[in-house]
Structure 1
Amino acid sequence: MSSYFNVRSVVALALSSALLSFPSYAQYTGPSEIGQTTVADILKKPVDDQDVRVQGHLLRQSAHDKFVFSDGTGEIVAEIKAKHFAGQTLDEKTKVELIGEVDTSSKRPPEIEVDFVKVVN
């Protein structure tokens, strides 16, 4: 009888540990102090670490975590880690909102380092 309870305890512990280890993808959707901007504005006057919010389309993947993004005013590379997609499936026709920071370097054009990806209806 005691081994029966030990097995049940082990199974219960394993299940609760597995359930608690799933990541949570809660996302804030309320107002933001980060005003919407355009790719043209970013490219015209890039400011390193400037917070930006842009809406448009990811046109193509150019490297492992780099995508070409366009909002209709220009194109810019967006660096997006897989975790920021939060399980969303996107293609070049999906309108998205990207929130992140401008990343500048003297060796390449400015990029957006993305912290948040949201599908826009």
Structure 2
Amino acid sequence: MKEQIIACAIAVAVASIAQAQYAGPGAQAAPDTVRQVLQTGKDDQAVTLRGHIVESIGDQTYRFADGTGDIVLEIDRERWPEGPVDDKNTVELTGRYDKELIGASKVKVRSLSVVR
């Protein structure tokens, strides 16, 4: 039993380490504009964007614009900051780019904050 617990703990630790990204020489910087994401983004790539949520287009689906283009966001209810957010607020978000071969690509938002 003790061996199983230790094996599980090691597996979790190894999986956590595997999630890290290389940031040294030769590493590509994460895209930080919608244009960069759409032109060079890779599926499941980490992104950080700053701009405006300009429209609600469905259940937990929104349109985001930053002056270089617009993209669809998927934002779970628990990711929203406290207080109202509208199209006039500047927001910063981090998430993962979900590049689709067919249909609209989107960003799955992991964190969202209003820039004051």
Q: Same fold (TM over 0.5)?
A: yes
Structure 1 residue 59 and structure 2 residue 47: aligned?
no
- After superposition, the Cα gap between the structure-2 partners of 1:57 and 1:76, relative to the gap in structure 1 and judged at 3 Å, is same
Question: Deviation of residue 81 (structure 1)?
Answer: 0.6
The equivalent of 2:65 in structure 1 is 70
Query: Letter of the aligned partner of 2:42 in structure 1?
Result: V
- After superposition, the Cα gap between the structure-2 partners of 1:84 and 1:90, relative to the gap in structure 1 and judged at 3 Å, is same
Q: Deviations over 1:55-77 (max 9, x none)?
A: 00000000110000001100000
Contact kept? 1:35, 1:52, Cα under 8 Å: yes
SS in 2 for 1:42: helix
Query: Letter of the aligned partner of 2:86 in structure 1?
Result: D
Match of 1:47 among 28, 32, 42: 42
- After superposition, the Cα gap between the structure-2 partners of 1:36 and 1:118, relative to the gap in structure 1 and judged at 3 Å, is farther
- In structure 2, list runs of 5 or more residues that go unmatched: 1-22, 24-28
The equivalent of 2:113 in structure 1 is 118
- In structure 1, list runs of 5 or more residues that go unmatched: 1-32
Contact kept? 1:55, 1:95, Cα under 8 Å: yes
Query: Letter of the aligned partner of 2:45 in structure 1?
Result: Q
Contact kept? 1:62, 1:68, Cα under 8 Å: yes
Deviates more, 1:102-111 or 1:88-97: 102-111
For 1:75 and 1:37, locate their aligned partners in 2 and report how far apart those are by CA, in whole Å: 13
Aligned length: 89
For 1:94 and 1:51, locate their aligned partners in 2 and report how far apart those are by CA, in whole Å: 23
Question: Deviation of residue 43 (structure 1)?
Answer: 0.8
Percent sequence identity is 31
- After superposition, the Cα gap between the structure-2 partners of 1:35 and 1:45, relative to the gap in structure 1 and judged at 3 Å, is closer
The equivalent of 2:91 in structure 1 is 96
Of structures 1 and 2, the larger Rg is shown by: 1
